[in-house]
Amino acid sequence: MRKTIKVAEVVARIPDGASLMIGGFMAVGTPPRLIDEVVRQGKRDLTIIANDTARPGVGIGRLIDARLVRRIITSHIGTNPETQRQMLVGEIEVDLVPQGTLVERIRAGGYGLGGVLTPTGAGTLVEEGKQAFEIDGRTFLLEKPINADFAFLYAKQADYIGNLTYALTARNFNPLMAMAASVVLAEAQNIVPVGVIPPDAVMTPAVLVNHLISQERRLG
């Protein structure tokens, strides 16, 4: 299977209404070219699963600014006033999920688990509509797994068959999202020959990556 692909070509395959997992924290570890191309092509009614919506004009904030998002499942929106504004006027649906719970729900989706049990939110409004279990005198909530149509990953390095390694905190969501999406799209700062990345440094193996965004030359 051909691994590298032009960013415009692969984004053209994403339908309106798709669900996208997007790695990163405040745009660190978020793939800029993939985001920019989604904005350029005007994909609409998207569901975004991500830690945050960054800031206006930055990372996922660009999708929010372009009003391409119908729903977002995220941990916080406090750094993006435009996300807050759209939520308050009913232009976007926001599901706020505690960060640890969000990570575990994505992991559960990737590992094929039926859900995770967590005490977070027990006895609060978060518990409404969820199954609760008592274990050793403590109440735990069942949080269901999260999967997506596509995952957008951003790697420090990739080799030409799609093995990925990440820099520092970019490792937070990217590897788990690679497990939980039907189609995995990876963008890398550098693409290197096979063998440059030592096997024990590979954080997402090539078998999980459907397409690697090619490094196209800019004109002008």
How does pLDDT run across 48-59, given as a tens digit for each residue? 999 999 999 999
Binning the chain into helix, strand and coil, the percentages to the nearest 5 are: 30, 30, 40
- Of all residues in the chain, the percent with pLDDT exceeding 70 is 97
How does pLDDT run across 110-147, given as a tens digit for each residue? 999 999 999 999 999 888 899 999 999 999 999 999 99
Rounded Cα distance between 64 and 35, Å, is: 11
At 171 the pLDDT is 87
Q: Which two tokens stand for residue 148?
A: 């997506």
- What SS3 class is residue 102? helix
Virtual CA dihedral for 152, 158, 161, 162, nearest 10 degrees?
-30
At 98 the pLDDT is 93
Section 99-117 average pLDDT? 96
Residues 6+ apart with CB under 8 A from 70: 17, 44, 45, 46, 47, 92, 93
Q: How confident is the model at residue 2 (pLDDT cuts 50, 70, 90)?
A: low
Is the pLDDT higher at 3 or at 2?
Answer: 3
pLDDT at 175 > cutoff 80: yes
Section 60-70 average pLDDT? 97
Go through the domains of the chain in sequence order and give each one's CATH number.
4-99+146-213 (3.40.1080.10)
User: Whole-model pTM?
Assistant: 0.93
Of the candidates 81, 5, 68, 82, the one whose C-alpha atom is nearest the C-alpha of residue 40 is 68
Q: How confident is the model at residue 72 (pLDDT cuts 50, 70, 90)?
A: very high
